[in-house]
């Protein structure tokens, strides 16, 4: 019964409308994040007490992000939906083991990534990455090097999401986690089972490959960013 209830909360939001970001001061952002963490902690507590609707609320909060990460790894929409559902079911089953030592999203993303890896192993699927041309991106500004300033509009976000699909799975995943999910390098290490030095080098290489893909496949959109 609960499985059906939970799956009804995992709807396909991957084509949901984007909204323009709202600029917040650092202090306002901190207050908002603190409020979100408190609300999330309350939902987790209620879910542990048996409130299924509280866990369904957590599912709705993270469904799109988990689906995006899994799709990046699997490259197949139907498989990604199935693995996303499986990840949320596992997270509910083991929710009592969550101790709050890391953010709930970090714990959840690690479960999702492990579920996706297990699916790849079962079907023995080879992930073939698209090799981007070895071309320099002359139109990139210096501010775009850290990746933050390229996420300033819904149109650019849509372009990036399409570009991520042309990256190697781990490249797209680390960029999503760092820039779109705002996971720290320490949290990414927990999710991906990487060392800190490995995470830094992979993030750097992923940025470089993203620039190559943007130049090779999205030159027209890119020209409007600079």
Question: How would you label 105-133 residue by residue, b for 16+ Cβ within 10 Å and e otherwise?
Answer: bbbbbbbbbebbeebbeeeeeeeeeeebe
Give Cβ neighbours of residue 136 (< 8 Å, ≥ 6 apart). 215
- Work out the average pLDDT over 98-119: 91
What is the pLDDT at residue 155?
Answer: 62
The 10s digit of each residue's pLDDT in 14-61 is 434 344 444 556 666 566 566 677 888 899 999 999 999 999 999 999
Q: Tell me the pLDDT band of 138, cut-offs 50, 70 and 90.
A: very low
What is the pLDDT at residue 123?
Answer: 65
E strand or H helix that includes residue 169: helix 169-175
What is the pLDDT at residue 218?
Answer: 81
Domains of the chain: 2-10+27-123 (1.10.1740.10), 142-223 (1.10.10.10)
Tokens of 115: 């579920």
In terms of Cα–Cα distance, which of 68, 58, 64, 65 is closest to 13?
64
Indicate the burial class of 140 (C-beta count within 10 angstroms; 0-12, 13-18, 19 or more): middle
Q: Residue 128's Cα: distance from chain center in Å?
A: 20
């Amino acid at each position: 019964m609960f499985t059906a209830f939970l799956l009804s909360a995992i709807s396909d939001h991957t084509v949901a409308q984007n909204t323009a970001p709202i600029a917040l001061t650092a202090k306002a952002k901190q207050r908002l994040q603190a409020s979100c963490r408190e609300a999330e902690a309350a939902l987790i507590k209620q879910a542990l007490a048996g409130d299924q609707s509280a866990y369904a609320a957590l599912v709705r909060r993270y469904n799109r992000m988990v689906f995006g990460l899994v799709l990046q790894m699997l490259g197949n929409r139907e498989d990604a939906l199935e693995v996303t559902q499986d990840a949320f079911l596992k997270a509910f089953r083991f929710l009592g083991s969550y101790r709050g030592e890391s953010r709930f999203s970090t714990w959840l993303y690690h479960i999702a990534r492990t579920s996706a890896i297990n699916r790849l192993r079962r079907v023995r699927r080879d992930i073939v990455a698209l090799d981007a041309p070895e071309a320099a991106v002359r139109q990139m500004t210096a501010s775009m090097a850290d990746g933050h300033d390229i996420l300033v509009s819904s149109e650019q976000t849509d372009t990036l999401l399409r570009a991520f699909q042309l990256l190697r799975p781990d490249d797209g995943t680390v960029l999503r986690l760092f820039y779109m999910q705002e996971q720290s390098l320490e949290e990414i290490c927990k999710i991906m089972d990487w060392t800190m030095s490995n995470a830094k080098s992979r993030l750097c290489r992923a940025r470089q490959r993203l620039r190559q893909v943007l130049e090779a496949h999205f030159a027209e959109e890119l020209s409007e960013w600079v």
